[in-house]
Amino acid sequence: MKILGIETSCDETAAAVVENGVKILSSAVASSAEMHAKTGGVIPEAAARAQVVSILPVLQEALSDAKCGMEKIDAIATTVGPGLVGSLLVGVESAKTLAYLYRKPIVPVNHLVAHIYANWLVESAPEFPAMVLVVSGGHTDLVLMQAHSTLEWLGGTRDDAAGEAFDKSARLLGLSYPGGPAIAAAAKDFKFPNSNFQLKLFPRPMMDEHNFDFSFSGLKTAVWRATQDKGLKISTEQLAAEVQEAIVDVLITKTLRAVREFRPKSLLLAGGVSANTRLREAFESKIKNLKLEVDFRVPPPKLCTDNAAYIAACAYFCHFPVAWESLETKPDLSISGQV
> Per CB under 6 A, does 163 bind ligand KG4?
yes
> Per CB under 6 A, does 179 bind ligand KG4?
yes
Span from 72-80, 121-129, 179-187, 221-229 in contact with ligand KG4 (CB under 6 A) = 179-187
Please state the closest distance from residue 307 (CB atom) to ligand KG4, in A: 8
Please state the closest distance from residue 16 (CB atom) to Zn ion, in A: 14
Span from 45-53, 212-220, 270-278, 329-337 in contact with ligand KG4 (CB under 6 A) = 270-278
* List 26, 94, 305, 336, residue binding ligand KG4 (CB under 6 A): 305
> Per CB under 5 A, does 274 bind Zn ion?
no
Instruction: Answer for the pair 292, 256: CB distance below 8 angstroms, yes or no.
Output: yes
Please state the closest distance from residue 167 (CB atom) to ligand KG4, in A: 5
For 189-227, b/e burial (b = at least 16 CB within 10 A) is ebeeeeeeeebebbebbbbeeeebbbbbebbbebbeebb
> Per CB under 6 A, does 249 bind ligand KG4?
no
Which of Zn ion, ligand KG4, none interacts with 91 (beta carbon under 5 to 8 A by kind)? none
Tell me the pairing of strands 106-110 and 130-135: unpaired
* List 79, 296, 306, 312, residue binding Zn ion (CB under 5 A): 306
Instruction: Answer for the pair 334, 96: CB distance below 8 angstroms, yes or no.
Output: no
Q: Characterise 54 by phi-psi region: left (phi > 0), alpha (psi -120 to 50), beta (else).
A: alpha
Nearest C-alpha neighbor of 247 from the set 212, 271, 282: 282
- For residue 129, the cross-strand partners are none
> Per CB under 6 A, does 91 bind ligand KG4?
no
Site for Zn ion, residues 131 to 160, rule: CB under 5 A: 136
Residues constituting the chain: 339
Which of Zn ion, ligand KG4, none interacts with 167 (beta carbon under 5 to 8 A by kind)? ligand KG4
The nearer residue to Zn ion, 245 or 306, going by C-beta atoms, is: 306
Give the DSSP H/E element, type plus range, for residue 13: strand 12-19
Give the DSSP H/E element, type plus range, for residue 287: helix 277-289
Instruction: Answer for the pair 137, 116: CB distance below 8 angstroms, yes or no.
Output: no
The nearer residue to ligand KG4, 176 or 266, going by C-beta atoms, is: 176
The nearer residue to ligand KG4, 256 or 273, going by C-beta atoms, is: 273
Q: What is the largest CA-CA distance in the chain?
A: 74
Please state the closest distance from residue 332 (CB atom) to ligand KG4, in A: 33
> Per CB under 6 A, does 94 bind ligand KG4?
no
The nearer residue to Zn ion, 8 or 136, going by C-beta atoms, is: 136
Give the DSSP H/E element, type plus range, for residue 284: helix 277-289
Q: Residue 74 — φ and ψ, nearest 5°?
A: -90, -30
List contacts with Zn ion (CB under 5 A): 136, 306
List contacts with ligand KG4 (CB under 6 A): 10, 136-138, 163, 166-167, 178-181, 184, 271-273, 275-276, 305-306
